[in-house]
Amino acid sequence: LAVGGDPQLPPLPGQARVVICGGGIVGTSVAYHLAKLGWTDVVLLEQGRLGAGTTRLCAGILSMAKPISIESQMASYSSSLYQQLEEETGIKTGYVKTGSLCLAQNQDRFISLKRLATRLKVLGISCNIIKPKEIAKLHPLVNIHDLVGALHLPEDAVVSSPDVNHALAVAAARQGVQILEQTAIQQVVVEKGHVTAVETDRGSIECDYFVNCAGQWAYELGQASEVKVSVPLHGCEHFYLLTKPLQEMLSPNTPVIIDMDGRMYARPWQGGLLSGGLEKNPKPIFTEGRNQLEVQNMQEDWDHFEPMLSALLRRMPNLEAAEIHQLVNCPESFTPDMRCLMGETPGVSGYYVLAGMNSSGLAFAGGAGKYLAEWMTYGYPTANVWALDIKRFGNLQSSRTFLRHRVMEVMPLLYELKVPRWDFQTGRQLRTSPLYDRLDTQGARWMEKHGFERPKYFVPPGKDLLSLDQSKTFYKPDWFDIVGAEVKCCKEAVCVIDMSSFTKFELTSTGDQALELLQYLCANDLDVPVGHIVHTGMLNERGGYENDCSVVRISKNSFFIISPTDQQVHCWSWIKKHMPSDPHLHLEDVSWKYTALNLIGPRAMDVLAELSYVSMTPEHFPSMFCKEMSVGYANGIRVMSMTHTGEPGFMLYIPIEYALHVYNEVMSVGQKYGIRNAGYYALRSLRIEKFFAFWGQDLDTFTTPLECGREFRVKFDKDTNFLGREALLQQRQEGVFRRFVMLVLEDHDTELDLWPWWGEPVYRSGQLAGTTTSSAYSYTLERHVCLGFVSPPPGPEGLPTPITPDFINRGDYEVDIAGQRYPAKAKLYPFSSLFTQQKRRKEDMELSNFQGK
Amino acid sequence: SSALRSYNLTPPQVNSILKANEYSFKIPEFDGKNVSSVMGFESNQLPANAPIEDRRSAATCLQTRGMLLGVFDGHAGCACAQALSERLFYYIAVSLLPHDTLCELEAAVEAGRAQSPILQWHKHPNDYFSREAQSLYFNSLRTYWQELIDLTRLIITLYQVGDSNAYLHYWVLRVAFSGATACVAHIDGHDLYIANAGDARAVLGVQEEDGSFSAHTLSNDHSAQNEEEVARIRSEHPHSERKTVIRQDRLLGLLMPFRAFGDVKFKWSIELQKRVLESGPDQLHDNEHTKFIPPNYHTPPYLTAEPEITHHRLRPQDRFLVIGSDGLWETLHRQEVIRVVGEYLTGVHQRQPLKVGGYKVTLGQMQGLLEERKARTSSAFEDQNAATHLMRHAVGNNEFGTVDHERLSKMLSLPEELARMYRDDITIIIAQFNPHVIGAQRHDKS
């Protein structure tokens, strides 16, 4: 043999369409689904033996009770896949439908389970909220005395994950996937931004696609390509206990217990019990990277397991007499935001990742493998996976120190009770505005987006800061009055909000190239006079929003593009992907160069006029314009007559070295107009009551402008081709099947009732019609406002029905918050707007337009 | 014991008692590097007598190199221990000075010029310093160095200075009639000297290759448990006194330590004792203790303050030194002392990881075992001072080697008159070595 190694091993092919790295359940699932979708030339490489890593030791619980809907969907698909796998392959998978019980030890946990139940029902996953007495009927060992209730998912199951892994591999191999064990990838070769080959310890394979499913080692593998790929995950040790068969053997279909308040889980295992947990003080491992052999040698740590053992015995006191079989240490990989990493990497085309399963690898592998295979086949998966898209992260989340600290927070957080608008505590203050310290000393409370610190609200002097930070509730939060005061100030005087976190790009060219590119990428017309601002979506071929941004024509051939904060990586790669390689066309990320201040409120123009000696009235500075002007001593400030909330005001894009000066000037001149700082919570309330949709919350890659009432931002009348045009034209013909609406809650007591958040089911005349995407309390309406999508029930043949204004206006709507339904009024336009009349006419027209044709 | 139960202290109360006398000193770093072989020391005291009869001292030699650490355990009052704690280090430091420096010192005093200080003390605010006696002490010290200038004497002589001649002064007589043992360490680079007289003890904490700690005792106790001491004392007196010189493990049936400072009742002739008492101040007459002559007192002196000196060359695995009064060593075995301190300082608890192996263990048994192990480690986090942590163990350890809060609380809440029946004064000094410096020095030499 030319290359060393085991002579028993089959020879390495020199070439393949796809190379998958990792023979765990994730990698084999990707191979399986690629084969199902017709890929024939797929090679899967495993450095050791198939399923020898985390998969081998996995606790084998397949639960669909996941915190976000896309995860539950994946688990639900995995469940049906694993269920039929034995039939398909003839390999026993150990699948037993046990059902599962998520226990609540307190009212808040019970509320969160009820919220989860409403969400699962929307997905068609069967589940019931049950009383402690019923828990006792379902499980012989559970002590129910300290329980409030539970969520029962009868379809949940246990399964042997190495066997599923094996079955997937066998099924994939039958369809032509080549599986090679004991072959370690050393490097991924990249040429001109595209994957071309992988180099292994047994030679190299040329390929067009590479999929990194290396689990624990995915980070290191990412670093081992010519162009480094950031796969932000980090391992932690994870322990579970196996008992010997109990005196009275536990039936194999005893439900799985998930006691998140006790930080433990338990499932039946060979007449005994398997029980582990997600502890408060996890043990991170492999920070410096190791080889796979380490996994085999993981040590048990009984002292570390003590809290979990105590929690188990508290939950099942009769287990005291059960005998120990083994304590298993199974390392798991965790990501910075508890969600897995999926999709094509931003820097290298053809390089896909599926890793970072946050201890739910078995439950996700089926669904995630399917979505990734679809992604590679069609260019996009069949569901909105933005929450899992690896492009939500960039290099800035790649620091080993950051990952180590963050996963130590993430692992316990998976079981922690999460109330609306919780924030991560570790890995903070990474990216900050130059005004951070100034704002912090004025009482700013911070939240983080894409590593950037943004003010939530400002605690007025004299308020008890500590208790505010600790208040956690599903009901009215403590900051209610603080935000209320900020909103009032935005409406009546003027507020300043630091919005520096926004993604800012500059696209320039020598000739028309920049305009041509943007005309193709953007739905709205950008051939506007210099100084104009255009709100536009960047759509995909299906007409869905890949991005929603504001573009300013700075000069004839240069454009300033402002996108949401978390678009930094995604939007960059979207533009790059469609950008011709032309040396005269240049895209630059200038996010860090500008501090953005939003002056909101009727007196904003007075403040600016005083600082610039230029009249800022609408006659002199009409809406949606941008001018470079001086503010205070600083020159070259980009002043834009727009806000992101629909209130009158200006955005100031300030070169960072002037930021403090401009802020100080604004604050000092603003004194007499009653200026104050405001935060994102005030902004949220303002934009939601104004019915402003935000990308990432309300808009996604499956939402078209027609569905959210933004047809007026599409250049249909122009004869210019743009991405998504065909799909939109077709939708205009066929009508839309869902519509973005505003739901104003009625009969909802802000003081006493649970607050809506997002993801609440919407019912129309008793029938499920959609879900909410965001919500806020409107201080103007003195009511809660939810934004969301509704659609009519399918027609007689199961075909979708086009939505009509009547459907929206004539229905009795209800929003379901944790099982209780609150009547709501559905609206297609906001109550109060600067240009209410004008807009209403326009929007009514739009709606009738797309219905009529 | 029912009366004792009502004295239960809360954990914060226990902590405030344990921490009242804690002291720590870190050798300052230069350029981010600690160039001294000692990183610093931590010390603490817990009284059983009222007032406490133990004393501690720590100082850096300013004109020579090295650091001095000492524990002094007084008996029959604290006067002798007090005097030692203030004076002994000066004599040691002066005896280490080169001849030229001594001459300069003498010249400076003669001319009334300011002298550069010899010692930098590291003192807890509760460490008493007797102002009244300073000039007396100074004159005596000056006499000593004058003698040194004339003829270089052995360091041993200074241990007899405490008994010297200014006996008319009441202050000094109180010192002379009380007694104290002493255990002093001088650490300079990789040279560690221990001078010991009595039953205080210095033990080295050595870290083995597997990370565990073992005890290496550097001093010998001078007590009835030490056969060589028993033989020495018997050999110094006629055969007729063979049975009386050590009775019930005590010198003349009275004194526990076989070497000590002061205690002139075991050193002076009966005539001298009487003469001094007659010419001395009235207060002495009223003291029954001073008038009492030990039984079978035929061939004084029976007691010596001559120290036993040991030298140890520090190695990289030598991690720390514990000097403690006998109050510590009689409650905890030296190996346990070294383990507790070693685990505290390294933050690693060298417990064997639990393995179930082939044994039958139930979940309930395992839980009980783990809870006990947890309790053992959790006490480590309450203390910022190794000496305090060791004291917590010394006073509160139960039969499982774990700190038992209830026991700790009872022991600390004992009323003054009862405390001495359950425990002795405890004084602890723990010096931590800098393995990098020690390793580097050895490396240079090779």
Q: Which residues of A touch B343 (CB under 8 A)?
A: none
Task: Pick B366's closest partner by Cβ from A299, A301, A324.
Answer: A324
Q: How confident is the model at residue A290 (pLDDT cuts 50, 70, 90)?
A: low
Q: Which residues of B touch A313 (CB under 8 A)?
A: 363-364, 367
Which chain B residue is nearest to residue A309, measuring alpha carbons?
A: B367
B272 touches chain A (CB under 8 A): no
User: How far, in whole angstroms, is CA B227 from its chain's centroid?
Assistant: 22
B231 touches chain A (CB under 8 A): no
Could you tell me which of A362, A368, A376, A350 has the C-alpha nearest to residue A24? A362
Give residue B6's pLDDT. Answer: 46
Q: Express each pLDDT in B34-80 by its tens digit.
A: 678 898 999 999 999 888 999 999 999 988 888 999 999 999 888 88
How far apart are the CA of A144 and the nearest CA of chain B, in angstroms? 19
Task: Pick B363's closest partner by Cβ from A300, A309, A326.
Answer: A309
pLDDT at A666 over 90: yes
Least confident of A67-81, A111-125, A159-173, A788-802: A788-802
Q: Express each pLDDT in B72-109 by its tens digit.
A: 999 988 888 988 998 899 889 988 888 888 888 888 88
Q: Express each pLDDT in B426-436 by its tens digit.
A: 999 999 998 87
Assign residue B26 a region (left: φ > 0; alpha: ψ between -120 and 50; beta: otherwise).
beta
Residue of B352, B360, B366 to mutate, interface with A, max A Cβ within 10 Å: B366
Q: A320 and B364: CB-CB below 8 Å?
A: yes
Residue of A274, A310, A323 to mutate, interface with B, max B Cβ within 10 Å: A323
Q: Express each pLDDT in B133-172 by its tens digit.
A: 777 778 888 888 887 776 434 334 444 444 444 444 666 7
What is the SS3 assignment for A795? coil
Q: Which residues of A touch B374 (CB under 8 A)?
A: 303, 306
pLDDT at B30 over 80: no
Give residue A801's pLDDT. Answer: 92
Q: B364 and A313: CB-CB below 8 Å?
A: yes
Report the relative pairing of strands A495-498 and A676-677 from DSSP bridges.
parallel
Which chain A residue is nearest to residue B358, measuring alpha carbons?
A: A325
**Which of A420-424, A698-702, A793-797, B27-31 has maximum average pLDDT?**
A698-702
Residues on chain A bordering chain B, Cβ-to-Cβ distance under 8 angstroms? 241, 243, 299-303, 305-306, 309-310, 312-313, 319-324, 326-327
Indicate whether this complex's ipTM tops 0.85.
no
Cα Rg, chain A, nearest whole Å: 28
Q: Which residues of A touch B366 (CB under 8 A)?
A: 302, 309, 324
- Which position has the higher pLDDT, A558 or B189? A558
Q: Which residues of A touch B372 (CB under 8 A)?
A: none
- Which position has the higher pLDDT, A272 or A832? A272
Q: A309 and B361: CB-CB below 8 Å?
A: no
Mean pLDDT of chain B: 83
Q: A319 and B360: CB-CB below 8 Å?
A: no
Give residue B150's pLDDT. Answer: 64
pLDDT at B180 over 60: yes
Which chain B residue is nearest to residue A326, measuring alpha carbons?
A: B356
* DSSP-assigned beta bridge partners for residue B215: B205
pLDDT at A836 over 60: no
Report the pLDDT averaged over residues A68-85.
Answer: 96
Which chain B residue is nearest to residue A275, measuring alpha carbons?
A: B363
pLDDT at B414 over 90: no
Q: Express each pLDDT in A628-660 by its tens digit.
A: 999 999 999 999 999 888 889 999 999 999 999
pLDDT at A166 over 60: yes
Q: Which residues of A touch B370 (CB under 8 A)?
A: 302-303, 305-306, 309
In contact, A377 and A399? CB cutoff 8 Å: no
Report the relative pairing of strands A203-206 and A128-130 from DSSP bridges.
unpaired
Q: B366 and A300: CB-CB below 8 Å?
A: no
Mean pLDDT of chain A: 92
Task: Pick B363's closest partner by Cβ from A300, A301, A324.
Answer: A324
Task: Give the single-character DSSP code of B354.
Answer: P
Q: B366 and A299: CB-CB below 8 Å?
A: no
What is the SS3 assignment for A114? helix
Could you tell me which of B181, B441, B189 has the C-alpha nearest to residue B329? B181
Q: Express each pLDDT in B330-384 by its tens digit.
A: 999 999 999 989 888 876 554 556 777 777 889 998 898 888 777 766 655 677 8
Q: B374 and A303: CB-CB below 8 Å?
A: yes
Report the pLDDT averaged over residues A115-131.
Answer: 96
- Which position has the higher pLDDT, B397 or A818? A818
Q: Which residues of A touch B371 (CB under 8 A)?
A: 306, 310
Q: Which residues of A touch B364 (CB under 8 A)?
A: 313, 319-321
Burial of B351 (0-12, 13-18, 19+ CB in 10 A): exposed
What is the SS3 assignment for B179? strand
Torsion angles phi and psi, residue A267, rounded to 5? -140, 155
Write the CA distances from B142 to A849, B13, B111, B157, B167, integer angstroms. Answer: 111, 46, 14, 15, 17
How far apart are the CA of B365 and the nearest CA of chain A, in angstroms? 8
The percentage of residues in chain A with a pLDDT greater than 90, rounded to a whole number, is: 84
Give residue B405's pLDDT. Answer: 77
How far apart are the CA of A281 and the nearest CA of chain B, in angstroms? 14
In contact, A206 and A197? CB cutoff 8 Å: yes
- Which position has the higher pLDDT, B9 or B357? B9
Which chain A residue is nearest to residue B363, measuring alpha carbons?
A: A320
Q: Please tell me the distance from the alpha carbon of residue A441 to that of residue A461, in angstroms, as a whole number.
A: 10
Residue of B343, B351, B363 to mutate, interface with A, max A Cβ within 10 Å: B363
B364 touches chain A (CB under 8 A): yes
Q: Please tell me the distance from the alpha carbon of residue B325 to that of residue B199, in angstroms, as a whole number.
A: 7
Q: A313 and B353: CB-CB below 8 Å?
A: no
Q: A301 and B363: CB-CB below 8 Å?
A: no
The angle at the Cα of A638, spanning A637 to A639, to the nearest 5 degrees, equals 105
Report the pLDDT averaged over residues A429-438.
Answer: 94
Q: Hunting for tokens 């403690």 — which residue is that? A: B324
Report the pLDDT averaged over residues A426-431.
Answer: 90
In contact, A408 and A238? CB cutoff 8 Å: no
Task: Pick B362's closest partner by Cβ from A302, A305, A322.
Answer: A322
* DSSP-assigned beta bridge partners for residue B254: none
pLDDT at A296 over 70: no
Q: Please tell me the distance from the alpha carbon of residue B92 to that of residue B81, in angstroms, as a whole number.
A: 16
Give residue B238's pLDDT. Answer: 92
Q: A301 and B364: CB-CB below 8 Å?
A: no
Residues in chain B: 446
Task: Give the single-character DSSP code of A195.
Answer: E
Report the pLDDT averaged over residues A687-700.
Answer: 93
Q: Express each pLDDT in A488-505 by its tens digit.
A: 999 999 999 999 999 999
Q: Please tell me the distance from the alpha carbon of residue B428 to that of residue B264, in angstroms, as a whole number.
A: 27
Give residue A391's pLDDT. Answer: 95
Q: Express each pLDDT in B380-404 by its tens digit.
A: 567 788 999 999 989 988 766 667 7
Write the CA distances from A572 to A212, A339, A561, A575, A579, integer angstroms. Answer: 22, 22, 11, 5, 10
Least confident of A515-519, A592-596, A832-836: A832-836
Q: Would you tell me which residues 333-352 of chain B have a C-beta closer than 8 angstroms to some C-beta of chain A?
A: 351
Could you tell me which of B192, B211, B190, B210 has the C-alpha nearest to residue B315? B190
Q: Would you tell me which residues 370-389 of chain B have a C-beta closer than 8 angstroms to some C-beta of chain A?
A: 370-371, 373-374
Give residue B31's pLDDT. Answer: 59
Q: A299 and B373: CB-CB below 8 Å?
A: no
pLDDT at A182 over 50: yes
In contact, A65 and A258? CB cutoff 8 Å: yes
Task: Pick A309's closest partner by Cβ from B353, B360, B367.
Answer: B367
Write the CA distances from A429 to A420, A450, B349, integer angstroms. Answer: 21, 11, 35
How far apart are the CA of B344 and the nearest CA of chain A, in angstroms? 18
pLDDT at B444 over 70: no
How far apart are the CA of B345 and the nearest CA of chain A, in angstroms? 20
Q: B367 and A322: CB-CB below 8 Å?
A: no
* DSSP-assigned beta bridge partners for residue A265: A258, A276
Q: Express each pLDDT in A538-550 by its tens digit.
A: 999 999 999 999 9
Task: Pick B370's closest partner by Cβ from A303, A320, A321.
Answer: A303
Q: Which residues of B touch A309 (CB under 8 A)?
A: 363, 366-367, 370
Q: Which residues of B touch A303 (CB under 8 A)?
A: 351, 353-354, 370, 373-374
Give residue A752's pLDDT. Answer: 94
pLDDT at A27 over 90: yes
Task: Pick A299's closest partner by Cβ from B351, B353, B373.
Answer: B353
